[in-house]
Chain A
Amino acid sequence: MTELAATDPLPKPKRDIAPILLPIALALLVIPLIGSTSSWLTLTAASLAMGMMIFIMASGLTLVFGLMDVLNFGHGAFIAVGAYVATLVLAPFAASVQADSLWVNLAVLAPAALLSMAVSGALGLIVERVLILPVYGQHLKQILMTTGGLIVAEQTLYALWGPQIIPLPLPASLRGSFILGDVAIAKYRVLAMLVGLAVFIAIQLVLNRTKLGLLIRAGVENREMVEALGYRIRRLFLGVFMTGSALAGLGGVMWALYREQVHASMSDDLTVLIFIVVIIGGLGSIGGCFIGAILVAMVANYGGFLVPKLALVSNILLMVAILMWRPRGLYAVTSR
């Protein structure tokens, strides 16, 4: 590094913007392939909404991976539990859910989402204490324990609610679309984008503007040194695990409303996407997770429209391509 003279202005930190340009480039690249501007806009809006929901579910997992080095294959349980809690809370308020007023809808939706987060977070506390704590540092056992936990959670949901799909209708005011010219953008997708963006901004503010956030970022990189500075990182682990579980619960509510249905194994397909997002984003990187989620959703939507036969493998191909470019993900935070 070239030394600066004392009078030189402080250098500004260099930002790695190549990953940020990736989804923009992808979106622009497919315009001529899709042909119709309105289809492109609809697909892009769908990608952003889906990406935000996946980001909400994956953000906790990437911190759990990065900070705690824990392979939590049971993350999907928090998604399903969050969705089921929402059905429980919303069922007695069906009239309010179907009311035409946005505020009445939000007055029941917001507490349902908060309660889902609280229950998923509390479940996270139990899972961390009972399943994860005994197997810290042992990846194989973590996989076995958390996969076992997921199976137990799913079977418990089946036992309590039965195998049938439970409908979770969208609130009346969130049905339909905003019409801009000949482009229709579903109202709920706009809400999903706003919630996802709010979660992203909130996490970024905590990580970058608070000492707690500094500790989390430092812990992702070097847990041992954080402890050597006098901080009890195990408590931080627990807090991050519970927050990650709560966010998965919120994601579960958002996804269930998006699909308008809930079932015990609803997270099975999502879990694959979430893991792809966490891996291509870079373990422990919230920024990488955010971009990764948008990329995965874009590839799923654009790919499904352009080459439906490749839909199943498109995200695997995306992951391979990203890892060939950056083997530790878009933003490498940990050395793992």
Chain B
Amino acid sequence: MTDLLKLSGVHTHIGRYHILQGIDLAVPQGQTTMLLGRNGAGKTTTLRTIMGLWQASSGEISLAGERIESRATPDIARLGVGYVPESMAVFSDLTVKENLVLAARDGPLDDTQLDWIFGFFPALRRFWLSRAGSLSGGQKQMLSIARAIIEPRKLLLIDEPTKGLAPAIVMALIECLKEIKRKGATILLVEQNFFAARELGDSVLVMDNGTIVHRGEMAALAADVPLQERLLGLSLEAHQ
């Protein structure tokens, strides 16, 4: 299987802090790769560096064989990268419709795609003309994901989509992401919720102190409790 995204020896400094300390990773085409790790390990910085929101100080990042580490964020997005930040970052002054109109960069909203999205997130249809700022946390997350998938994207970078959400909404999000995966999307997904990670991940990368300390199959990590405890400080049983 070919790798859609590759990072080789990527370092990122934010001010005087050396956050990413030589990241090497690959995201295979059509797979969901989970990026796990403790708080402060550098997961969000990795996504932001790929997206060009923070510039890599050194190293190479390539998307479908094309070097992108020195490109500006809009150019990277236009190569087909969708980004769902941890903060959701919906435009709260805009309506749900306006948020999606803006995300549909290449033209008017596609009704078929919209119906597909409404199938997962009926709340977005109900609150179509409501200001995004008036949505609940779960609905904002739905809108944030809908914004990333309103047009076909080569790669989706999703940062902790289940954070702070009620269990029922987490389940709905997992089902949605599974469906996006079934449609052949390539996803790099940061997640703290190990249950969600196990449900969604094909492969897994574990970060600590700005480096990748483990890479392998998600199923293998899910089956290896001592390894989970060593890498993440948790056991799967504790989260079931």
Identify the A interface with B (CB < 8 A).
1, 3-4, 6, 8, 10-14, 211, 214-215, 217-218, 220-222, 224-233, 333
Question: For A231, what are the chain B residues with a Cβ–Cβ distance below 8 Å?
Answer: 74, 105
Count contacts between A and B, CB distance < 8 Å. Answer: 83
Given the interface pairs A214-B101, A224-B89, the reply to whether A6 lies near B74 with Cβ below 8 Å is no
The answer to whether B127 and A11 have CB atoms under 8 Å apart is yes
From B77-85, B176-184, B206-214, give the one contacting chain A: B77-85
Question: For B128, what are the chain A residues with a Cβ–Cβ distance below 8 Å?
Answer: 10
Identify the B interface with A (CB < 8 A).
51, 53, 72-74, 77-78, 83, 85, 89, 91-95, 98, 101-103, 105, 122-123, 125-131, 134-136, 139, 147
- By DSSP majority rule, is chain A's interface helix, strand, loop, or mixed? loop
Question: For A215, what are the chain B residues with a Cβ–Cβ distance below 8 Å?
Answer: 102
CB distance from B108 to the nearest CB of A (A): 10
The answer to whether A230 and B89 have CB atoms under 8 Å apart is no
Closest 8 CB pairs of A and B: A230-B77, A225-B89, A227-B73, A218-B91, A228-B83, A230-B78, A232-B74, A1-B136
Give 8 A-B contacts (CB < 8 Å), ordered by A residue: A1-B139, A6-B122, A8-B126, A14-B134, A215-B102, A217-B94, A222-B89, A224-B73
The answer to whether A225 and B85 have CB atoms under 8 Å apart is yes
> Which of the residues B91, B129, B130, B134 comes within 8 Å of A217, measured between beta carbons?
B91
Given the interface pairs A13-B95, A217-B91, A218-B91, the reply to whether A228 lies near B102 with Cβ below 8 Å is no
Contacts A1-B139, A214-B94, A215-B102 supplied; 12 other A-B pairs, CB < 8 Å: A3-B123, A10-B126, A10-B129, A11-B130, A211-B102, A218-B91, A228-B51, A228-B73, A230-B74, A232-B74, A233-B74, A333-B93
The answer to whether A221 and B126 have CB atoms under 8 Å apart is no
Question: For B125, what are the chain A residues with a Cβ–Cβ distance below 8 Å?
Answer: 6
> Which residue of B has the minimal Cβ distance to A2?
B136
Question: For A232, what are the chain B residues with a Cβ–Cβ distance below 8 Å?
Answer: 72, 74
CB distance from A335 to the nearest CB of B (A): 10
CA separation between A332 and B125, bound complex, in Å? 26
